[in-house]
Amino acid sequence: MKSRIPFPKFTVFFALIVSTASAKPEAMPAFSWDTVPRYMHVRKVTAFTPEEIAHLATFPLITFEKTTGAKEFGSTELGTEMAAQAVKKLNPDTKILYYRNILVHYDCYQTDKQLKSITAPFLADHSGNTKLVRNHVPAYDLSNKAVEAWWLKNAQSVCSSPHIDGLFVDGNIKALEKGYLRRQIGEEKKAAVAKAYHRMMAQLPQTLGKDELIIANLIRARFKEAGLENLDYFNGSYIEGFEHAVAGMSREDYVAKGIDAIQKAARSGKIIAFTIGSKGYADTDMDAEKPKARQKKTPSQDRFTYALALFLISAEKHSYFMFTNGFGVDGSVNKDWMKQKPELSKPLGPPKAPASKNGYLYKRSFQNAEVEVDLENETATIRWIPKK
C-alpha cells in the first residue's frame, strides 16, 4: 500500500470515515524517466482526427475536458467515450480520465436532463439569482442530497466504461475555500456545501471502484497545508494556478510552498499532473490577484525552460508534465498543441536525489541533466548531459 499523507488535526473527523484512494499497480499510468514524462489535458467539441488520436495515444495519462465531442456526439459523456475508444485502440495502456466539476455547472452533459427534475439544485443568493460563478453560470448545492446522488451516479456510470480509467475532479478549491461565494449564499450554506463535499469525496473511491483513478485539481499554497490535508481522498493532484500569490504571500513564498507540497505528495506515491501555462500565470477566478500587474514578460524559450525546471525539481515516479497555451483545440484556437519541444525527447534518466534548496534557489541532478531554478528572478537553467 502506498504511504499516506497524514491528516492535520482539523481534519481528524474526516480521516475516520475516508477510505484512502489507492490504485492497484496495473491501474497506474505507465511511467519512465527515459525522457520527460508527459500529461495531456484537452477538449475539442468535434471528433478528433486520426492524426490527433495518434498523437494522443503517445501519452500515458489524458484528461478529456468538458465539452469533449459534445457538438459531434451530443454530450460530453459520449464524446469522451468515443475519444477514449479511439485512443485505446492504438494504445490500450493510456489511462483516460473523465472530467467533472464538483461545484460549477457546465451545461454540456447528457445527465443535465436529469438535473431538471431535482428541486433547487443550484446555490442562490438572497435575490434568488443562481448565476453566481463569475456572474455567469450556476453552482451546485451539494448539501442537496438529490444533487449529491445525481453527481455520483453520473461519475459511476461513465467511469464504468472499459475505455475510461477514472475521474478528474475539478472545482475543489471553490468548494473548500471558505470565502468563495460566502457573501452571496451566507456562511451557513457555505459550510454545508463544504461538509457535503467531504462526504462525497469520502464516498467516491467506493462509488467508482478500486480500479478507477481519481485525480483532483487540489494542491494550492493558499491552504494551510497546501491541499495535502484533503489529498487522501484521491490518487493524485493536477497542478494549476501554481504561480499566483494569494492571501498576502509573496510570489516567491507562494511558489516555494507549492513546490514543497508537490514534492511531499509525489514522494508519498501520488500522481502529479503538472500543468503550466506557456504565457505566464494563468488567469483563473480563484488564483489571481491582479495577475497582469505581476506577470513577468519572458521570452518563450526561457518560459519553457523555467516551467520544465519547476516540474523537474518537484517530480517523482508518476509525475507528468504539460506545457500549454490552452486546452481547447477546436479549429485554429490552438494550432501548436501537437508540436513538442525537443527537450521533451532528450534522454533524462532518473534523479540522483531530491532537489536541494537554498533560500529560493533549487538544484537537482538527473542522470542526463542538471537543473537549477531561481524563484526570486523567475529564471532557470537545464544543462543536458550527452548520454554515454
**The pLDDT of residue 24 is above 90:** no
DSSP state of 158: H
pTM above 0.85, yes or no: yes
pLDDT averaged over the chain?
90
Q: 319, 8 in Cβ contact below 8 A?
A: no
What is the mean predicted confidence (pLDDT) over 177-204? Answer: 97
- Give the phi and the psi of residue 342 in degrees, each rounded to 5: -60, -30
Task: List all residues 6 or more positions away from 351 whose beta carbon is below 8 Å from its beta carbon.
Answer: 33, 312, 315, 316, 364, 365, 366, 367
As a whole number of Å, the CA-based R_g of the chain is 20
- What SS3 class is residue 75? coil
- Give the phi and the psi of residue 311 in degrees, each rounded to 5: -65, -50
**Cβ-based neighbour number of residue 287 at 10 Å:** 21
Smallest Cα–Cα separation from 211: which of 193, 188, 192, 235? 235
> Residue 74 corresponds to which amino acid?
G
Q: 338, 331 in Cβ contact below 8 A?
A: no
Cell numbers 463535499 correspond to what residue?
Answer: 197
Question: Between vectors from CA 54 to CA 44 and to CA 168, what angle results, nearest 5°?
Answer: 50
**The pLDDT of residue 7 is above 60:** no
The whole-angstrom separation of Cα 177 and Cα 90 is 41
Q: 212, 28 in Cβ contact below 8 A?
A: no
Interhelix angle 187-208/145-159, rounded to 10 degrees, is 30
**The pLDDT of residue 9 is above 60:** no
pLDDT in tens, 205-220: 999 998 999 999 999 9
**Strand segments (E) across the chain:** 39-42, 61-64, 95-101, 166-170, 213-217, 236-239, 271-277, 319-324, 356-358, 361-366, 369-374, 379-384
Give the model's pLDDT for residue 21.
65
The whole-angstrom separation of Cα 315 and Cα 253 is 19
**The pLDDT of residue 25 is above 90:** no
pLDDT in tens, 53-89: 999 999 999 999 999 999 999 999 999 999 999 999 9
User: Which domains can be identified in the chain, with CATH numbers?
Assistant: 9-338 (3.20.20.70)
pLDDT in tens, 228-279: 999 999 999 999 988 988 878 999 999 999 999 999 999 999 999 999 988 7
β 361-366/369-374 pair status: antiparallel
List residues bridging with 63 in a β-sheet.
41, 97
Question: Exposed/middle/buried for 301, CB within 10 Å: 0-12, 13-18, 19+?
Answer: exposed
